[in-house]
Chain A
């Protein structure tokens, strides 16, 4: 949800001071198991613009090196991801979610194992950037630069069409399946991840979610198609939005649980396009909020932030069926012995967790559709000052958001999802 800064702004975050040639050479010698390896050329370029945000800071590295005995240097491209702890407020909150630790563990231990598992299925494919190294001391992750093979960020304002959506669901299903298998083979390795955006340890983001539901209530009040009944329900819902969302995240015995991405929206995938602009491949990035949960978390999040509305409203059933077919096929390829849900069972699980679709539609969708400012200003989202209130109100002036909510709110209401029941 919290985006990277604009690429063409003037002020960039400087590269980390410890990221120098000696460091990289030591690293490459170790990783390539070649004590005589030498770096011949190195380009280090900051890639993240400065802003007020708490954000990941990316640094681009292009390294030319000579293996021992080699005549011609090899070139490799990496991204070094570190965190910029600019302000105490933001970093204080994000640290409650253990985002750095989670992502480091994911890149160091988990993603490589998931990659290995997927490599053993009948239709292996690339899901993640390859990890080069995780430096816990510097809280840095070094992985392949996906820009080099041609991966780019998608246009979040357009949202995903059918083809992109299917691609995203295919990748997600494979990640979910591989994770279920990994935890089956190494019990506990993934269930320990329990600091997703909604979790039972902290409600640090509560001001954000609660305030936004309040803005939604005000919007409904002024909206002729919705009006006072919805405004009232949403106002009441503010008190329970955190608890009801946390319930969706709680893994349930007897249901299918897996490692969910936790922030699976259009800005956390990268795409490679062909000549006719058709999407050829997709990789997943940003693993700060992974947790052991129901796939309902990722599916409701994805559909309600990243999928074009016509598809979200009219084709969701068929797309869930597709996701399920890939999930089951992958689980089968990997000889998963645990609980494999039938399509009906998955649907019931999704229905049970459908309150999360409400949360995402009211809150996260507002940031996604926002075309006023490229950055999700964390302070403005969280704080109850005038600037914050104005910013959140501004998010709700977006016409596409409004149109979507006019369609969705009555439907949520019809299923009793806007009711405070306990």
Chain B
């Protein structure tokens, strides 16, 4: 079932809506955060459009994603018809992103990662400055969604709903093709470059973002990553001729989290950026040309896991989760070169003061972080390509019980994930990426 099928199905479910009335409306919507009332929305719209007499005519509210599509919180789709003080009416489409509610386990587990506060701060304070930097060099490209409101009290963000502008999530089961990959990398390069410049101009203001997937504060993601890695090991052990690989993987488990943390540690002498932290197919929205079906534009979303560190964090993650098989296996270097050209040029245009590495130096820097490519291909890719969505939820990912183990094992029944393992493991091992002694 594709994402758009799911959204279509959900859209068909009748929702509670409030008719316009003379008094201030305030209704409760099903399957949405309880504070998300019509009054709330009206206030937000009034503030955004700077129009105190704006009135909502009707509102429709749906959950935005299904199981297996998002482990990072609650997404609610809002359609609102409203009339401005000048009498004009328009239909607004928004996405409301809010915290896990009623899932105490999720809230506790994710607390040290601080994903909601981080994302709000990023949207409120950082991304707009990056946008200004691009404007500074005459670049009008839109890279991320416009925010309509940032609500610190409710830990919520309201964005323009890009779906209404024709942006959709690409099929996560297929992976991006070359054209699409390049568009994403172009945007990523600009984001990275502007972040490096911003950090420089603002006296290291971005270096405090140090709570990515692997960090020196918490290992709460360990059940997910090690759980997946162990499920991979069990699968690999079944394949004739792969016994030695399974042994090597087994031996790596005790230091797996430490190896991940080293990737996120800042290595002196390397260029660092504000990495997106979770850049994969589902965090990329695409606008396809209606006639040709060709990808025209891309918006990057979901900044919950941003972290200051090596561009490798995003490059290896993206390239090992989000590409068509042939690109994943054979063309990563070309894509990195494409990214780097734009990255380095943007840095120079913005008069980045610190030394810009040469492509070969950059290549060497990425090499020091290459364990992340192995980690992503082995332990993350299969989550994202999982088709067994019955148990695909946060708890199954982050727990260690039988249900969670079953879920992870199921991820490795996917033939595509198996193929990735089969074909890439020998290379990872030959490169010493699964050695205990690295």
Contact = CB atoms under 8 A, between A and B. Distances in A.
A411 interface: yes
A419 B358 contact: yes
Interface in A76-91: none
A416 B358 contact: yes
Contact of A344 (B333, B426, B433): B433
Contacts of A413: 337
B437 A342 contact: yes
Q: A interface, by DSSP: helix, strand, loop or mixed?
A: helix
Contacts, number: 64
A348 B270 CA distance: 14
Contact of A317 (B340, B367, B427): B427
Given A414-B337, A415-B333, A347 B360 contact: no
Contacts of B367: 347-348, 351
B432 A343 contact: yes
Interface string A350-362: 0110110000000
B235 interface: no
A416 B363 CA distance: 8
Given A344-B435, A344-B438, A421-B358, A321 B430 contact: yes
B334 A414 contact: yes
B432 A321 contact: yes
A318 interface: yes
Q: B interface, by DSSP: helix, strand, loop or mixed?
A: helix
A415 B336 CA distance: 9
B422 to A, nearest CB: 16
Interface in B338-381: 340, 358-364, 367-368
A342 B435 contact: yes
A257 to B, nearest CB: 18
Nearest to A317: B430
A318 B333 CA distance: 19
A417 interface: yes
A414 B432 contact: no
Contacts of A354: 360
A51 B364 CA distance: 45
Interface residues of B, number: 24
Contacts of A416: 337, 340, 358-363
B359 A415 contact: yes
Nearest to B358: A421
A310 to B, nearest CB: 16
B364 A352 contact: yes
A415 B362 CA distance: 9
B22 to A, nearest CB: 67
Contacts of B427: 317
A415 B364 CA distance: 9
Query: Range of interface residues on chain A?
Result: 20 to 34
Contact of B431 (A317, A355, A415, A417): A317
A319 to B, nearest CB: 9
Contacts of A320: 430
Nearest to B364: A351
Interface in A295-329: 317-318, 320-321, 324
Contacts of A324: 432
A414 B333 contact: yes
Nearest to A352: B364
Nearest to A345: B438
Contacts of B358: 416, 419, 421
A317 B432 CA distance: 9
A301 to B, nearest CB: 19
A317 B359 CA distance: 21
Nearest to B438: A344
A214 B435 CA distance: 42
A193 B240 CA distance: 49
A419 B431 contact: no
A419 B333 CA distance: 16
Contacts of A343: 431-432, 435, 437-438
Contacts of B340: 416
B427 to A, nearest CB: 6
Contacts of A344: 431-433, 435, 438
A93 B169 CA distance: 66
A318 B361 CA distance: 24
A318 B340 CA distance: 28
Contacts of A348: 364, 367-368
Interface in B402-438: 426-427, 429-433, 435, 437-438
A415 B363 contact: yes
Contacts of A346: 432
| Most chain B CB inside 10 Å of its own CB: which residue of A354, A355, A414 | A414
A355 B364 CA distance: 12
| Most chain A CB inside 10 Å of its own CB: which residue of B337, B360, B431 | B360
Contacts of B438: 342-344
26 contacts: A317-B431, A318-B426, A318-B430, A321-B429, A321-B432, A342-B432, A342-B437, A343-B431, A344-B431, A344-B432, A347-B367, A351-B363, A351-B367, A354-B360, A411-B333, A414-B333, A414-B337, A415-B333, A415-B337, A415-B363, A416-B358, A416-B359, A416-B360, A416-B361, A417-B360, A421-B361
Given A344-B432, A348-B364, 20 more contacts: A317-B431, A321-B429, A321-B431, A342-B432, A342-B438, A344-B431, A344-B433, A352-B364, A354-B360, A355-B360, A414-B334, A414-B337, A415-B333, A415-B337, A415-B360, A416-B359, A416-B361, A416-B363, A419-B359, A421-B361
Q: Which 7 A-B pairs have the closest CB atoms?
A: A416-B359, A343-B432, A416-B360, A317-B430, A421-B358, A318-B430, A344-B438
